[in-house]
Structure 1
């Protein structure tokens, strides 16, 4: 495991942190590999309920270390071994458990685009978001040209992806890129608080809600039918039985025995 990525698992939360502050947490292949492994193993670990992805105090990530990145660039659909950055992004994109991003300070390039593949993203009041792909004569990456216009609207997406503007936390929240903003000194504790809340919820219900929100767009009637079928199916699940019993007994439900 790379020393440039710190991984801690406690109380159902696996926290993955970039740990290369002397280089503004610029990402190396070994860092992507370590983070990918942490997500992949966490997906099959019953003790892990939620992932948090963050950096060091005041620094999320300055994006890819360009020298290291050019030695193994992404090759979607190509042959050969999957580059570490692609392995990490695929782990992030396909994770069934909730993922929270904790952005404190710089979020450059992939530091911003990966937020589209997290379920929740929070930022500190000193966060800065920038996607300089066009400035580097490159194309947008990892479906950002799909997710940014859908989430932010065409004009705001162009402001990031084409103009290369730098957004502060207030602008990012206004646009819907992040859920909320906290003082830098408080963001870790605020994110941890929310991760612990998620960790106590029904894992089956969380997976279902996430899968529904990630599903391709479809007519409202079709989505209602899909939701209704799942709703009816889950009424007979052990997790619902526990939730119902807890409600009747006026206690908090205990989903710890469910994976």
Structure 2
């Protein structure tokens, strides 16, 4: 993914992933995520946009943007401090610390943790509860939670982050970090 974005150069904001980011911000329907295994980078920041996140006990999360010479994306510099506070957000975004599902639940990123075999059933139950609730009330409540002002701020944050992300993709720091990552990966 990083190599594709790096080849995009200054036009990174026109890549399909950034169109996807804006589509998620504008999604009028509730979003429910299931997480198992590793959720890294966009795999974690996407969860900040979900209405419910069900994680298996084996799920781990990380946002190692800075370690890759990049900056956070998908509005995470706006949403994460609102969710966990600025100091915890700085720890997670600047240090890129990995955390497990239980810590994700304590932070408010994860709605419910369950054993891996139960993940689909638990997430399915959340979806059924949402789907059987009065549709108009669900839509109105989601609109109040994630209304036009919220979306406008978030679109602005996504665009601002994307511009800096594009600059960082072309930085010496990023190239060195990626080379070190792939070099270390080849050592194992």
After TM superposition, the score normalised by the length of structure 1 is: 0.54
Is 1:67–2:3 an aligned residue pair? yes
Aligned to 1:163: 95
The runs of 4+ residues in structure 1 deviating greater than 3 Å are 71-76
Aligned-residue Cα RMSD (Å) equals 1.8
1:74 shift after superposition: 8.4
The 1:75–1:157 alpha-carbon spacing in structure 2 relative to 1, beyond 3 Å, is farther
Change (3 A) 1:150 1:75: farther
Q: Return the alpha-carbon distance in structure 1 between the equivalents of residues 27 and 7 of structure 2.
A: 27
Contact 1:135–1:164 (Cα < 8 Å) also in 2: yes
Q: How many residue pairs get matched?
A: 149
What is the distance in 2 between the residues matched to 1:198 and 1:83? Answer: 32
Cα displacement (A) at 1:92 = 1.2
Q: Deviations over 1:88-141 (max 9, x none)?
A: 111211100111011111000000001111111111001110001100111111
Larger helix proportion of the pair? 2
If you compute each CA radius of gyration, which structure gives the higher value, 1 or 2?
Answer: 1
User: Is residue 120 from structure 1 mapped to residue 52 from structure 2 by the alignment?
Assistant: yes
Equivalent in the alignment of 1:143:
75
The change in CA–CA distance for 1:166 and 1:201 in structure 2 (over 3 A counts) is same
Name stretches of at least 5 consecutive residues in structure 1 with no aligned partner.
1-64, 218-259
Query: 1:175 deviation in Å?
Result: 0.7
- SS of 1:92's partner is helix
Matched residue, 2:141: 209
Distance 1:73 1:187 in 2: 39
Mapped pair 1:189 → 2:121 = yes
Partners of 1:73 and 1:83 within 8 A in 2: no
Q: Distance in 2 between matches of 1:126 and 1:94?
A: 31
SS in 1 for 2:20: helix
Tell which has more relative contact order, 1 or 2 (C-alpha 8 A, sep 6+). Answer: 2
Residues 78-93 of structure 1 correspond to what in structure 2 (within 5 A)?
82-93=14-25
TM-score (norm 2): 0.74
Q: 2:105 aligns with which of 173, 191, 199?
A: 173
